[in-house]
Amino acid sequence: MMGIGLDLATFIGQLVSFLILLGLLTYFGYKPVRRMLEERSNRIRESMEQADATRKEYERAETEAERRINRAREEARLIVVEAGKFRDKLMEEARSEARQETHAIIDRTRAELEQERREIADELRREFADAAVLAAGKIIGESLDREKHRKLIEQALDESAFSRELEGH
């Protein structure tokens, strides 16, 4: 093989050296690099899985938070509605108490006015009876038995329209 310029012994030596170098590179270089690349690939895959799990957890937490917010809004709305009902109930009770108190005051005032009217009517009747006895005594010219005449006049007043009119109003 001299014509080509190849020496078979050198060629075989270089081929063996190349194969040994290739074996050493494969054993010491390719396998560790491949292992390192696989580890990196595994870390990237785990990171992606963890990121996906974190995203899913975030979405679940966000959904849960939204559900809680909606529930809190509904509870707040119900509280406002109940507070409105309670306020309306209190207002109605206050109105009812005010009406009852007003009616009680009116009834008391009417009773007091009726009592005063009776007292005034009785006082007028007594004064009228005294005036009538005095006038009758002056007309007759003699002193009348005051008590007896007062009873007669009161009896006449009770039977008269004047007395009924005083008591009716």
- Domain segments of the chain: what residues? 8-168
What whole-number percentage of the chain has pLDDT above 90? Answer: 53
End-to-end CA distance of the chain: 159
Place of tokens 């063996």: 16
Higher pLDDT, 161 or 114: 114
DSSP character at residue 160: S
Give the C-alpha separation, 152 to 22, whole Å. Answer: 157
pLDDT value at residue 86: 93
Over the range 27-40, which residues count as b (16 or more CB within 10 Å of their CB) and which as e?
A: eeeeeeeeeeeeee
- Over the stretch 141-155, which tens digit does the pLDDT of each residue have? 555 577 777 777 777
What whole-number percentage of the chain has pLDDT above 70? Answer: 85
- Over the stretch 11-57, which tens digit does the pLDDT of each residue have? 899 999 999 998 888 888 787 888 889 999 999 999 999 999 999 99
Answer whether 0.95 is exceeded by the pTM: no
Give the C-alpha separation, 109 to 92, whole Å. Answer: 25
